[in-house]
Amino acid sequence: MDITELQPITNFIKTLPPFDILNDQLIHQCCQSLSIVYYSKNALLVHVDSNEAQLYIVRSGAFEVTTQKGDLIDRVSDGQYFGFSGMLSGEKVVNKVHILEDGLIYQLPLKSFNQLRAASQPFDRFFNQAFAKRLRHQGELKRKQITTRRISSLISEKLISLDSNSTIQQAAILMSEKRVSSLIIIDNQQLTGILTDRDLRNRILAKGLNGDTLIKRVMTKNPITAQKEALIFEAMLLMSEKNIHHLPIVENGLPISMLTSTDIMRSQSSQPLLLIGQIDRQNNLESLVTVSKQLPSLLQNLINSDAKAQEIGRILTLVTDALTKRLIFIAQLQLGNAPMKFCWLSFGSQARQDQAAGADQDNALLLEFETDDSSKRYFKQLAELVCDGLNSCGFPHCPGNIMAKNPKWNISLQQWQKNFSYWITTPQPQALLNATIFFDMRPIYGDNKLFEQLQSNILKQTKNNDIFLAALTHNAVQQIAPLGFFKNFVIERDGSEVKGIDLKHKGVALINDIARIYALANGLTAVNSKQRLTALIGTTGINKQDMLNLIDALEFIAHKRLINQGVQYEQGLVLSNYLIPSNLSPLARHHLKDAFKVIDDSQSGIKLTFLRQF
């Protein structure tokens, strides 16, 4: 490579730390040994040769370094490096490098790299510190909280099962051979029951039955199950609530394995589960308030563990649910049993299970019948105790007064049905705008059948209801993603003060609106936005790639919002939804613009689909 060709490379390398501390001779030697490789994102992965270690210097493009299992280690773009871990450790390269954007890479051979390390102690220290940071990060991945891991990471998919017409003796022999404490019982490829060592003791030996007894006489029928990709944390809660120690795991409706309490105990303990356990042991508001003070640190730990935004939101919501349930329990200790069946409802972010820091409360009471004076007084007191208790625990009263303590939202099933029928059949824009929050609804405590009746009634009226869906869409597209004509961010200001980009109202909320409209149009019972979008895939008239893009955009924007709030918390600032784009790396800004473009395209899509007759 002649000096003319070398000059642009030299100029670039000299700007990069730690190369910027090297003298001109070392820079020249370094640049002469570089090779230049172009990587297309169509190739998906960078081919990293384990036998020929090199330092990869990113001239342009974007790349992602992950473990073999797909856990994120690092994202790199212009002027950043990868490949140094293998060079410094001397171990075989096992990480994967994914190509996110077409890029140009300068590759520095191991021999040249070691010469620079020998010639400059600060150069050597820079990469050793980077390597140490990488090792710490990978260690954190290995110690990642159980709350962010999935059941699939614990179970073996070697199904150990019998059919229900097998004998107890056959079951005992199989359990002994496989050294397991339970069996899954399958008939005609369907899960029909489970048999545990406790069943053998309590239902066979204690009853004096012999080994010829058929399994179907003593098995636990129609057991509770969990999905393979559910969080371990959710399985723990389920097993605790139902007082069970064996949980069949299913995938696509078919049993694949058994998760036991022993499997979970072998794994590390869960801070959120311990927190919920503490909540469930409190018998007065004062102690609940004390326990609730752990919530900010829980959120910070989840953010630091690099958990997905969807998982963080679900975990925070499960804690909020636990607080709500305990407050209702404590209120009923004081007030006595309810005079009729009821269901405590949540709306908004708690209903969608995507809570973030600073969430206020949105709730209501759904009552079995119309109230007389006595029952009205009971539910008024119950609602005030719970809503005021949530406020004391860090979940502020709703500014819009959408709370069970408001008599307007402490009403019978019949009244709720009338309200929804009015909103759906007479969709006045302002009234519907105020009522939108009620269409994201989930039961927290009480009689779920009341909720199911109400939800079923709502979905029958919204499915394929052109007038209602058009009005809902008209309201939803009044807010747009913060991108200007030339794809520049549109920054909000408060006078002379730069507030930044509102990631909630101009990002996450817009995707929630889109998901809600499609879900109501198709009669879906799901409330969580990701679940709604996932359920829409394969639906007639829905483009699969559009839904996948929205799911990715939702996760990216929500994650950036949480990370931003984590930084605000660490700096002692008031938590907000505003992000200053200049605080992001060029790669992150690029991805954020792509996410907002997805929202913009999707809003255009719902306009075409639902506003044709508006």
The one-letter amino acid code at 334 reads Q
Cα–Cα nearest to 475, from 439, 447, 421, 446: 439
The one-letter amino acid code at 42 reads N
Question: What SS3 class is residue 28?
Answer: helix
- Domain of 196? 155-266
Whether residue 467 is contained in a domain is answered as no
Based on the fold, state whether residues 537 and 591 are members of the same structural domain: yes
Whether residue 453 is contained in a domain is answered as yes
Based on the fold, state whether residues 237 and 305 are members of the same structural domain: no
Based on the fold, state whether residues 183 and 42 are members of the same structural domain: no
- What is the length of the chain? 614
Based on the fold, state whether residues 435 and 562 are members of the same structural domain: no
The per-residue pLDDT for 494 is 67
CATH number (domain holding residue 187): 3.10.580.10
Instruction: Please tell me the distance from the alpha carbon of residue 102 to that of residue 39, in angstroms, as a whole number.
Output: 6
* Under 8 Å between Cβ of 576 and 492: no
The count of domains in the chain is 4
Q: Examine the fold and report which residue of 216, 233, 266 is the final residue of a domain before the chain moves on.
A: 266
Based on the fold, state whether residues 317 and 457 are members of the same structural domain: yes
Based on the fold, state whether residues 427 and 299 are members of the same structural domain: yes
Question: What SS3 class is residue 37?
Answer: strand
The per-residue pLDDT for 543 is 87
Cα–Cα nearest to 342, from 316, 311, 375: 375
Structure-token match 């009044």, residue found: 478
Based on the fold, state whether residues 176 and 302 are members of the same structural domain: no
CA–CA distance from 354 to each of 228, 475, 598 (Å)? 21, 22, 20
The per-residue pLDDT for 91 is 67
The per-residue pLDDT for 50 is 61
What stretches in the chain show pLDDT beneath 70? 1-4, 49-51, 90-91, 135-149, 240-241, 265-271, 304-306, 485-486, 494-496, 612-614
Q: Examine the fold and report which residue of 221, 251, 266 is the final residue of a domain before the chain moves on.
A: 266
Instruction: Please tell me the distance from the alpha carbon of residue 82 to that of residue 130, in angstroms, as a whole number.
Output: 10
Based on the fold, state whether residues 287 and 259 are members of the same structural domain: no
For residue 90, report the phi and psi dihedrals to the nearest 5 degrees.
75, 5
The per-residue pLDDT for 268 is 46
Whether residue 201 is contained in a domain is answered as yes
* Under 8 Å between Cβ of 413 and 368: yes
Based on the fold, state whether residues 425 and 276 are members of the same structural domain: yes
* Under 8 Å between Cβ of 61 and 39: yes
122-146 burial string, b = 16+ CB within 10 Å, else e? ebbebbeebbeebeeeeeebeebbb
Whether residue 468 is contained in a domain is answered as no
DSSP 149: S
CATH number (domain holding residue 484): 1.20.120
Show the tokens assigned to 166: 């097998």
Whether residue 555 is contained in a domain is answered as yes
The per-residue pLDDT for 10 is 93
CATH number (domain holding residue 428): 3.30.460.10
* Under 8 Å between Cβ of 194 and 255: no
Based on the fold, state whether residues 425 and 279 are members of the same structural domain: yes
Based on the fold, state whether residues 242 and 371 are members of the same structural domain: no
- pTM reported for the whole predicted model: 0.63
Instruction: Please tell me the distance from the alpha carbon of residue 367 to that of residue 438, in angstroms, as a whole number.
Output: 16
Q: Examine the fold and report which residue of 404, 438, 462 is the final residue of a domain before the chain moves on.
A: 462
The per-residue pLDDT for 197 is 85
Based on the fold, state whether residues 409 and 531 are members of the same structural domain: no
